[in-house]
Structure 1
């Protein structure tokens, strides 16, 4: 009888452990409402939507609207927008030491940037000349001329264009970090997050 009771007890424990739902916070069991994740498929899973800025009806998603409001768009009366993460990298809102304050829902940054003189740090360009005293009226071998630096006659030598002419083409530069793409999705259903 003792053996049958022990066996029955173990069988009941086995059934309970393997059939009852476990409500701990394992990732993927049930997402928080409004949780954002990445997905490699070409369609959003059931209960999720792409973060592509689409407008949703408040009447159909009032709990999600209570979390997002109109920070990503919408009129706030009948519609609200999901975040538009296409071509974007997510960052945490707020600011840290030496960093700009970033508001939740704000977009910033550019893919390409044109560098101008005002963007460059202060710097000097070296003039490659000799420190020897001039010994000739003609500038030669990196030495300055002693006389007639400016003359009305035709020049007897030509300055090197690479050191005197403007350089650069004014084209914009790529401002993108190395990245791999996946689809950003947001949970339309799930556990309503509670405050601590």
Structure 2
């Protein structure tokens, strides 16, 4: 048994968007690439789109530009920001800063021996011990002594992190002729 045949709408609504796997748009459709159109030559389409997607509103208006973009429903879903008709937002990648990372720590190991210390205070550029075979420094007076500052070292390369979902490039088309959509 054959599945039922699917039929596309023969007379689309003007301004309707269609996604196609072909590399061209059918007759009466044009790619939705933000083109500037003449109001005089496309007054019906202009009456629906206005300057929502750009243009001066006197002689020209723009089509939606869906190149590299995902269309979203206008409005506000639960817990989401409001999206206006024609609003464009988003970026393909971000560079994370330390403020974007969760609180964490790095461990450090400072090997020491059981030998006795030979100095009453650490020498310049020394941390805890005089040499690899020297004992850990201990202040004879019992007061606190700074043993020097240090860092564990830098890592990373400040490369941008891609945030785009997996995708498949296809062609969005918009109907320039057809049926004027009823309200």
TM-score by length of 2: 0.74
- Find 2:22's aligned residue among 33, 41, 45: 41
Task: Select which of 123, 127, 138 maps to 2:107.
Answer: 127
Name the counterpart of 1:172.
160
Task: After superposition, give the CA deviation of every residue in 1:23-45 in whole Å (9 maximum; x if it has no partner).
Answer: xxx64222111000112222221
CA contact (8 A) 2:108 2:152 kept: no
- Find the counterpart in structure 2 of residue 151 from structure 1: 122
Change in CA separation of 1:59 and 1:169 when aligned onto 2, cut-off 3 Å: same
How many positions carry a matched residue from both structures? 154
Deviations 1:134-185 (A, max 9, x none): xxxx8539xxxx998971165524xxxxx80121111111121111111110
Query: Structure 1 or 2: larger helix share?
Result: 1
Distance 1:156 1:53, change over 3 A: same
Unpaired runs of 5+ residues, structure 2, are 1-6, 133-150
- Match status 1:140 vs 2:104: no
Distance 1:148 1:49, change over 3 A: farther
Where does structure 1 differ by over 3 angstroms across 4 or more consecutive aligned residues? 126-129, 138-141, 146-150
Which consecutive unaligned segments of at least 5 residues does structure 1 have? Answer: 1-25, 130-137, 158-162
